[in-house]
Structure 1
Amino acid sequence: MKSLVRSGALTAALGVGLSIAVLPAGPAGAAGETHVRCNDIAALKAAITNANTSGGRITLAAHCTYTLTAPDHRDNGLPEITGNVTVSGRDTTIRRAPGATPDFRIFHVAIGGALTLQSLEVSGGNVPDSAGGAIWSNGTLNLADVIIKGNRAGTGGGVYNLGGQFRLDRTTVAHNTALRNGGGIANGRNALLDRPGTMTMKGGALLGNRAHNDNGGGLENVRSTASLDSVTVSGNTALHGGGINQFGATLHLTSTTVRNNIAVSGAGLSNEFSTATLTRSLVTRNTAITAGGGIFSGNSAQVTLTGSAVVHNTPDNCSPEGSVPGCANPADNATPPSSNLSPPAGNSSAGKNSAETGKAPE
């Protein structure tokens, strides 16, 4: 994969992509497998269209960048995923061209569709008036050894999972931006179908994502379920929930570290009308402007710590005092936050449920 600071759980790419730049696009190797030569966008689109009908694997050229200059389907760079599609590479990138004038994301997974990405980077998506800068999924989305980097959207700067099944293995979501909430990922309930989103992340990291005017710098989890195992959540910024923000949702953290995140309140985790369980996890060195440097837990919320620690956060570890059993606020920990901190400005009460909505893909 391309060079990027990642958690220790990151491993080498799967190595399933083959360099076939000298070969024409078309069936090759195992049945149902299509190789697409380097940056052949027309062939990539055709392969996805075929896979939507018949399934199968699309293998991209190794060490190659596929650059999209215009949308294929409304505000989606590639054909909408309606079937069972797998796209794999090796040190391979799919990106929106930096100079592209239309706004579009890279992938959209429709209800009933299933997309698996392996050993790829997806970057440059831009949909400021919609959701899912890199990927919007209403179906099934699996990411393995993937980097989601440098995308931008109204909600879900990197990925927007609306009532779908979403799994990430050894995947890094880094330096994405949401104008509202879910700088890295927004995981929300599909209100029309009354179906919550389900997110499972094993290994990898949420790094340096930003929610400009709302909540959930790394992850926004609304009326849905998210489970993170052996994940690093670091350097994310938002109004509330710099690392993770929850509203009416359920969160499970196992062997996970939440550190160096910034927010007005709940810098590590903001938890309202929600349940969070932390097992063998660490919340440390997060900084809030007002309260809840480590965890803010209010409005009928519950946090359970099992073999976990919330320590060395500023200006306190947990707020309100006593809201998180086993979390203490030593007097010498109450240090005023640094004056050079600058979380995004905006309406702190706006968009609490915005992971459930957003402009539908056009």
Structure 2
Amino acid sequence: MRLIGFSSMAAVAAVVASVTAGPASAAGQDDGTRVPCSSTALITAIVAASPGETLSLSSACTYHLTSPFSSGDGLPPIDEKLTILGNGATIVRDGSGTAAFRIFHVKDDGILRLENLAVRGGNTTGDGGGILVDPGGKLTLVGVDVTDNTALGGGGGVAVSAGATAVVRRGWIAFNNALNGAGLYSGGTLTMDDSELSRNHARNVGGALARVAGTAYVHASLVRRNTSDTAGGGVVNGGPGRLEFGDSKIANNTTSGTSGGGIQNLSDLRLEKTEVSGNVVGGRAGVGGGISNATTTAVLVLKGSEILRNSANGDGGSKAGGIYNDAGTVTLDHTHVRDNASTVAPGGVYTTKQFTVVSSSITRNIPTNCTGSPVVVTGCTN
């Protein structure tokens, strides 16, 4: 598990990069009904659990799931309040020869809390390769690794349906694969704190995160080294609702497509004290190495943030290594756009509408800061 633990952009650079063999055991997590180190025992315990019960898994055990409990689900669906204390355990779907199924499924009346656990290897033809939360369901992950899961639909790691709620704290969601939102796919209410989304791959959009409806707030977290084939190497934000990042970092994400190496925004997005850096849009005529803000519904507010060292490096007129804005609304408030690059001008900011600018700067971008844009941002010079 990767522990983030930062409260400013300066501290983001010092994110702990070590990965343990599994989640570390936490003191005081030995209460509840003990579950022997056996997948049969785990399934039996979930089926027999009373509403509000706590199950305590065997320390550092690997629970191997070799067949689905029910259609598409490796474990019994959660339809009541249940807490599972992992104590450093792993629940894994075994191997490529095993039938496709996700690991956890939270039903509309389910309330599931997982702590100190790894969820790995789920595979589904729908949404939520690792964990699926149905409308009305509630999920809380504390110190949970969700890794190496696959979905033909959205949310290789976790899928939060419309009307569902998910909270992720001190989590690591990595190496997942899906059509959209390979790490996390959310149409409900999502809160993420002190967590990392890394090395996930979307076959369409949103390598790390796709918010398609509802609200999502991400605080003190890291989104890095995710990839996508079409747009939003790190994040895609669309549909009704809002996505907010605070005290976070979105870095070194890549799309081989044409829009938003770090973020593709089609809706309401706010970044506060957040760094967007080292992201790449690599497709032919690609735009917005850091952020692409497109369509009239796109609203982008950057407050106390940094957009730096991003690039649009494809051929065929790739531009706007920093920010690309087509018909959307953008506010720069105490924000700096610098050291970005693109194949053709402008390297810093391309926009069809004037920005609102408060004590901000666009500097040291190549080949130009703003020259070549249909509208030159107020105060931007070369």
Establish whether TM, by shorter chain, passes 0.5: yes
**2:77·2:106 contact (CA, 8 Å) conserved in 1?**
no
Distance in structure 2 (CA, Å) of the matches to 1:77 and 1:49: 9
CA change 1:51–1:125 in 2 (3 A) is closer
1:215 pairs with one of 228, 231, 236 = 231
Counterpart residue number, 1:342: none
Deviation at 1:65, TM superposition (A): 2.4
**2:219·2:248 contact (CA, 8 Å) conserved in 1?**
yes
Counterpart residue number, 1:293: 321
Deviation at 1:200, TM superposition (A): 0.5
Structure 1's unaligned 5+ residue stretches are 189-195, 337-362
1:15 pairs with one of 26, 33, 36 = 26
CA change 1:22–1:34 in 2 (3 A) is closer
Distance in structure 1 (CA, Å) of the matches to 2:178 and 2:216: 19
Counterpart residue number, 2:377: none
Distance in structure 2 (CA, Å) of the matches to 1:140 and 1:225: 15
**1:318·1:328 contact (CA, 8 Å) conserved in 2?**
no
SS at structure 2 position matched to 1:40? strand
Deviation at 1:87, TM superposition (A): 3.3
Distance in structure 2 (CA, Å) of the matches to 1:34 and 1:10: 32
Counterpart residue number, 1:184: 208
Counterpart residue number, 2:262: 243
Matched, 1:309 2:336: yes
1:150-205, Cα deviation, whole Å (9 max, x unpaired): 0001111111112x0011111111000001101111110xxxxxxx3211101111
2:102 pairs with one of 72, 76, 79 = 76
Deviation at 1:83, TM superposition (A): 3.1
Matched, 1:334 2:366: yes
Matched, 1:256 2:274: yes
Matched, 1:172 2:196: yes
Deviation at 1:36, TM superposition (A): 2.5
Counterpart residue number, 1:133: 156
Residue type at the aligned position of 1:209 = N
1:225-279, Cα deviation, whole Å (9 max, x unpaired): 10000110000112311111011x1001111000000012111110012111111
Counterpart residue number, 1:269: 291
CA change 1:10–1:328 in 2 (3 A) is closer
Q: TM-score, normalised by structure 2?
A: 0.72
- Counting matched residue pairs gives 316
Larger Rg: 2
Deviation at 1:132, TM superposition (A): 1.0
**1:158·1:176 contact (CA, 8 Å) conserved in 2?**
yes
**1:177·1:209 contact (CA, 8 Å) conserved in 2?**
yes
Residue type at the aligned position of 2:272 = T
Moved more, 176-185 or 217-226: 217-226
Counterpart residue number, 1:34: 55
**2:322·2:348 contact (CA, 8 Å) conserved in 1?**
yes
Percent identity between matched residues is 22
How big is the alpha-carbon RMSD for the aligned residues of Structure 1 and Structure 2?
3.6
CA change 1:245–1:14 in 2 (3 A) is farther
Structure possessing the higher relative contact order (Cα contacts under 8 Å, 6 or more residues apart) = 1
